Amino acid sequence: MALLNFRRKETPAPAGVSAPVEAFLKGYSIEVMPRTAEKVESFRDLLPPGTRVYIAHIEGTPIEDMVATAKRLHAEGYPVMPHFPARIIKDRAMLADWIARYQGEADVKQGLILAGGVAGPAGEFFSSMQLLDTGLFGGFERLHVAGHPEGNRDIDPDGSDAMVMEAARWKQAFANRTDAKMAMATQFCFEAKPVIDWVNRLNAEGVSLPVHIGVAGPAKLQTLIKFAIACGVGPSLKVLQKRAMDVTKLLLPYEPTEVVAELAAHKAAHPDFGIEAVHFFPLGGIKTNATWAIEHGGTSAVPAAQS
């Protein structure tokens, strides 16, 4: 069924949804890939107007497919944020070409700048900081960078977060000297406490970039465990492993209800807490994730009249 008549912000939360959860899910974003976007007949049937849509750039995906997906989403009225993974970009000329295509064909004004999950660089770039230092993103209105609540073995092989925090401080310094709006978008997590501790740690380190916390959408448990291991999700993986040991829950789909509720409650109790928005990874399908978000009060940050 088409979900075209989305609630306005003054509408009460859906039955059974707490006010903190509804507030927490306001302005959520979601991620797609060209091959998954192709399966969606109309994003307007799934997502509230103005929802930010990230386009994940997986190694091997032609830039033509990325730009075509961005162009389609823009035409349907969605702010588009493609990934710019440093380690699959060969040189400055390639980066400039990508930016020109996105801007010229899809009016892209936002980007997620990250290292990328490949072992070695394809050329001269290996970090998001190098991409930002090129100065080629000067025409962008919003730039997001990667955050790592549970560490990143690619950056800190010893399991510490020393280099991760050093990179976070660099990104904060860059944000201080750019006109673009900046935020940290994170990998998905399954437990609230490590996220809360990490956001508080950022604040203690002088990093005040708003956090867009990654949340895995509803999916089969086996699917989530596979993605979590592949993506290097750390301590909160034990939440899924514990669930997998419970035969009564093994065949039930995972939903992020508990982690979202805990983070929402913490945000409600601490309004200055650094999480600004939720970013969904629709590992069980875009439609499934979008439906769950709407049923739990999720809305666009942009009023329908402005979208």
pLDDT per residue over 131-168, tens digit each? 999 999 999 999 999 998 876 555 545 555 778 889 99
With CA atoms as reference, report the closest residue to 157 among 232, 58, 237, 59: 232
How far is it, in rounded angstroms, from Cα 211 to Cα 232?
19
CATH class name, domain 19-298: alpha beta
Mean pLDDT of the 43-59 span: 96
Better-scored residue on pLDDT, 61 or 226: 61
The pTM assigned to this predicted structure is 0.86
Q: How many CA atoms lie within 13 A of 163 on its CB side?
A: 10
- The mean of the pLDDT values for the chain is 86
| Cα dihedral 231, 236, 242, 247 sign | negative
Q: Residues near 36 by Cβ (< 8 Å), separated by ≥ 6?
A: 282, 286
Vertex 253 angle, CA 289 and 282, to 5°:
25
- The answer to whether residue 269 scores a pLDDT higher than 90 is yes
The pLDDT tens digits of the residues spanning 12-21 come to 556 678 999 9
Instruction: Give per-residue pLDDT as tens, 183-221.
Output: 999 988 888 999 999 999 999 999 999 999 999 999 887
Q: Nearest to residue 234, comparing CAs of 291, 155, 179, 152?
A: 152
Question: Would you say residue 302 has pLDDT above 80?
Answer: no
* Cβ-proximal residues to 305 (8 Å cutoff; 6+ apart), any chain: none
CA atoms within 13 A on the CB side of 279: 27
Give yes or no for residue 244 having a pLDDT over 70: no
Q: Return the pLDDT at 234.
A: 58
So what's the pLDDT on residue 32? 98
Pull the structure tokens for residue 32.
């797609």
**184 beta partners:** 145, 211
d(CA 305, CA 170): 38
CA distance 145 to 161: 17
| Burial (Cβ within 10 Å: 0-12, 13-18, ≥19) of residue 151 | buried
Q: What is the mean pLDDT of residues 14-36?
A: 91
Q: How many CB atoms lie within 10 A of CB 100?
A: 12
